[in-house]
Chains A and B, each alone.
Chain A
Amino acid sequence: MSLRRFSTQTLVVLLVTLVAGCDDRKITAYRAPKDAVAALPAAATGGPNTNDLPPGHPPIGGTPATAPADPNAPMAGAQLPGGAGLPLVAGDNAIVWTAPAHWIAKPAGSIRKGSYTVPGDGGAAADLSVTAVPGDTGGLFANVNRWRGQVGLAPIAESQLQSSLEHLDANGFHIEIVTLAGPGNSLLGAIVPYNGQTWFFKMAGPAAIITREKAGFVEFLRTVKPAQP
């Protein structure tokens, strides 16, 4: 009688162990509400060789996919959608800017702080991205050569760096601008160090658009300023 009682107890303990043991190996399927950031309409672009999301990727976070009613409205540099208030950079790091009226705002994301389509003739378009990364990400020289690589240009030597840069002082920022014309695409890049972060403004696309938008890009950079003066 006592042996039987013991074996029942052992069985219970073993069963519990087995059930619990199986639990962390089980593939589960369920229906879940969409994550707040993924619930926005899909409109992101980005090819497999850009720094962006893969093709067809829905936007991760950001402003609504449609262009805002007033494209001139300043966009907060470090705000995720819906006022959810997950600043990827601390609030006092935020940078704001005013984009030219003809640029079409796209959803930003966890990586992009700002994203625009710059339309050209015949359906062509360039892409403008604003990103912020902690630290200096290898410095000016490494970043210029990284951008040169993206448009298919050979890297330059460090001694050639200064001659390839233009400088712009706006709203207390010292902005370095680089213009790169590659065999395929061209690129306008601006690097803005601010509060321990490096902000990158990059417009990439067909040479015709980049050449035409150069002045507009510089004007756009003049509007870049800290969110809290």
Chain B
Amino acid sequence: MWTVPGTGVALPIFPGGYLIGGLLLLNLVFAHLYRFQLTWRKLGIQLAHAGIILLLVGELLTGLLQQDSYLRLDNGETKSYSESQRGMELAILDQTNPAYDEVVAVPESVLAEKGLIQHPKLPFKILIQGYYPNASMQRREQAPGAAPSIATAGIGTQVAVMPLPITYKTDERNLPAVYAEVLGTEGSLGIWLLSPALGMPQTFSYQNRNFQLTLRPTRYYKPFTVQLLKFTHDKYPGTEIPKNFASRVRVKSDDRQTDREVLIFMNNPLRYGGYTFYQAGFDNNDQTSILQVVRNPGWLIPYVSCIMMGLGLCIQFGFHLTGFIRKRSAA
């Protein structure tokens, strides 16, 4: 992106999918409105073009609404949420109730503005004192030259944060770090350093309630749980070449309508509750299975549009064919 000097207007240098697809869509829509006549003879061509328009709109919807996340399960583990691959959130958990947590989740884009965060469910405010989209951590005693920490509570006082440039490499992850100050009605409760690299959440008590602060991959909770019963990783005998990855999982819905076992393997995903679970990877000496979880509300659109296009072309060429046959028989 290139920002016009003096303005905040960002213009793309290399056109991307949204621009080209959008222009194509506009062009087709206008062509439809401007050129095509609504006659029976033009039905086929109309239908085929409408199919293409629908396909483009469907792709746009997919691009905007598709949610990709990952479900990491150890053998025997049960989870009711999947996690984003890249997106992070600041989760503030009220853990006072032993049965459940009250969660307030703040997306990273809000943290990046370094503003004051308020929510009706929180008895305090959170002021983001520092935000680094990517940073590495080191124990303070191993980094004698590091700048003094602004954290006043939790593990952050012992950790030196070294900001790193944002990485765009596919095999690297940005590990953000945040300095969050908790402001109660009586004043500041302290500044905590939060990062997924710390490997532990930070806790404090306020007004007799126990809170936990954590910067974690964005979670998507679902109205059902998935338990990994067994992950199998078969190799061709005598080699390290993988033959098959499979996860036997148990899906249990919260309303107790569903409780079944499913085998997920390559090209055989589980479709349930609007989500598709693909076998995506494994970890931990085959003890952990990683499933890709895709939610795409527009998944049917490409099928519908292909049917429309196919039908349209059949009608169009059907008219041509009958016309041609008629001409031949007349001759």
Q: A and B from one assembly?
A: yes
B60 within 8 A of A: yes
CB of A32 within 8 A of CB of B221, answer yes
* Beta-carbon contacts under 8 Å, B146-164 to A: 153-155, 157-158
> What is the minimal beta-carbon distance from B56 to any residue of chain A, in angstroms?
10
A124 within 8 A of B: no
A85-B119 contact given A20-B65, A29-B105, CB 8 Å threshold: no
- The contact of B33 among A5, A38, A142, A146, by CB within 8 Å, is A5
CB of A24 within 8 A of CB of B203, answer no
> What is the minimal beta-carbon distance from B317 to any residue of chain A, in angstroms?
28
Stretch at the interface among B259-267, B271-279, B281-289, B301-309: B281-289
A87 within 8 A of B: yes
B117 within 8 A of A: yes
CB of B95 within 8 A of CB of A58, answer yes
In the assembled complex, the Cα of A108 lies from the Cα of B86 at a distance in Å of: 29
- A27-B107, A84-B76 known; 6 new pairs, CB 8 Å cut-off, are A30-B105, A53-B155, A60-B201, A87-B284, A87-B285, A111-B199
30 A-B residue pairs with Cβ-Cβ distance under 8 Å, sorted by A, are: A6-B29, A9-B29, A16-B60, A16-B65, A25-B109, A25-B110, A26-B107, A27-B110, A27-B117, A27-B119, A32-B80, A32-B221, A33-B101, A34-B100, A38-B201, A38-B212, A48-B157, A53-B203, A54-B153, A54-B204, A56-B203, A57-B200, A57-B203, A58-B203, A60-B201, A85-B74, A85-B76, A86-B77, A87-B285, A146-B141
CB of A29 within 8 A of CB of B103, answer yes
> What is the minimal beta-carbon distance from B265 to any residue of chain A, in angstroms?
21
Chain A residues with CB under 8 Å of chain B are 2, 5-6, 9, 13, 16-17, 20, 24-34, 36, 38, 48-49, 51, 53-54, 56-58, 60, 83-87, 90-91, 109-111, 138, 142, 146, 149
- The 6 tightest CB contacts between A and B, nearest first, are A20-B64, A2-B33, A54-B154, A57-B203, A86-B74, A29-B104
Contacts of B157 in A (CB 8 A): 48
| Chain B residue with the shortest CB-CB distance to A44 | B203
B87 within 8 A of A: yes
Contacts of B105 in A (CB 8 A): 27-30
In the assembled complex, the Cα of A138 lies from the Cα of B141 at a distance in Å of: 12
CB of B74 within 8 A of CB of A32, answer no
| Chain A residue with the shortest CB-CB distance to B25 | A13
Among A56, A86, A91, A110, residue most surrounded by chain B Cβ atoms (within 10 Å): A86
Contacts of A57 in B (CB 8 A): 200, 202-203
In the assembled complex, the Cα of A49 lies from the Cα of B158 at a distance in Å of: 8
CB of A56 within 8 A of CB of B204, answer yes
> What is the minimal beta-carbon distance from A119 to any residue of chain B, in angstroms?
25
CB of B201 within 8 A of CB of A6, answer no
In the assembled complex, the Cα of A175 lies from the Cα of B41 at a distance in Å of: 90
**Contact-residue size bin, chain B (C-beta under 8 Å from the other chain):** 35 or more
CB of A38 within 8 A of CB of B95, answer yes
> What is the minimal beta-carbon distance from B219 to any residue of chain A, in angstroms?
8
A32-B100 contact given A86-B287, A90-B285, CB 8 Å threshold: yes
A27-B100 contact given A83-B76, A84-B74, A90-B285, CB 8 Å threshold: no
| Chain B residue with the shortest CB-CB distance to A86 | B74
> What is the minimal beta-carbon distance from B249 to any residue of chain A, in angstroms?
15
Contacts of A5 in B (CB 8 A): 33
> What is the minimal beta-carbon distance from B69 to any residue of chain A, in angstroms?
13
* Beta-carbon contacts under 8 Å, B234-277 to A: none
In the assembled complex, the Cα of A195 lies from the Cα of B10 at a distance in Å of: 53
CB of B142 within 8 A of CB of A138, answer yes
In the assembled complex, the Cα of A29 lies from the Cα of B57 at a distance in Å of: 31
In the assembled complex, the Cα of A91 lies from the Cα of B109 at a distance in Å of: 39
B134 within 8 A of A: no
A110-B199 contact given A20-B64, A25-B107, A87-B287, CB 8 Å threshold: yes
In the assembled complex, the Cα of A158 lies from the Cα of B121 at a distance in Å of: 55
CB of A91 within 8 A of CB of B285, answer yes
CB of A27 within 8 A of CB of B81, answer no
Contacts of A87 in B (CB 8 A): 284-285, 287
| Chain A residue with the shortest CB-CB distance to B109 | A25
> What is the minimal beta-carbon distance from B242 to any residue of chain A, in angstroms?
19
Among A2, A20, A57, A87, residue most surrounded by chain B Cβ atoms (within 10 Å): A57
